[in-house]
Amino acid sequence: MTLIERARPEDAGEILTLQRAAYVTEAQLYGDPFIAPLVESLGQMAETISSATVLKAVAGGRIVGAVRGRLTERTGVIGRLVVAPDRQGMGLGTALLGAVEAELGPAAESFDLFTGHLSEGNLRLYRRLGYRETRRERVHEHLTVVHLRKAA
């Protein structure tokens, strides 16, 4: 059984480790080992847990997924959806995304998130859950960021 709940500052190290494990494939896909999720510090993670909505998925005493969100005016901005590599493809990403939307939802008119243009699995998930592409932004020679939005 997997439980989704708010992360606590003492979870920062485990969530950071999970995030790094989950983003290795993204770094390989884009040929960039310095993507933001891989260079985030423990202090930055702890600060995010204290200042934003960070949810964790726990199974068997282990954090197996996480997501963060914050409200900017009437928009829920969602990021860093991560699932342990051995738990991917089991619906955990969908559950975490639904949980953070519900957490931010009462005050949000829409939800925004983004992913890289080569991240086909992420794009499929987000589109299946009702997110629609709003724009593309070339940020590096090897990376175009795809911005997506969904009505609340």
Query: Quick one: pLDDT at residue 32?
Result: 86
Query: Quick one: pLDDT at residue 118?
Result: 93
Q: CA angle 27-32-38, nearest 5°?
A: 55
Closest CA to 37 of 97, 83, 86, 99: 83
- CATH classification (class only), 2-151: alpha beta
Q: What is the pTM of this model?
A: 0.93
The pLDDT tens digits for 16-46 are 999 999 999 899 989 888 888 999 999 999 9
The residue type at 35: I
Mean pLDDT for 128-151 is 94
Mean pLDDT for 142-151 is 94
Query: Quick one: pLDDT at residue 139?
Result: 87
Domain regions of the chain by residue span: 2-151
Query: Quick one: pLDDT at residue 108?
Result: 94
Burial 64-90 (b: 16+ CB within 10 A, else e): bbbbbbbbeeebbbbbbbbbbeebbee
The pLDDT tens digits for 64-114 are 999 999 999 999 999 999 999 999 999 999 999 999 999 998 889 999 999
Query: Quick one: pLDDT at residue 123?
Result: 96
Closest CA to 40 of 29, 89, 52: 52
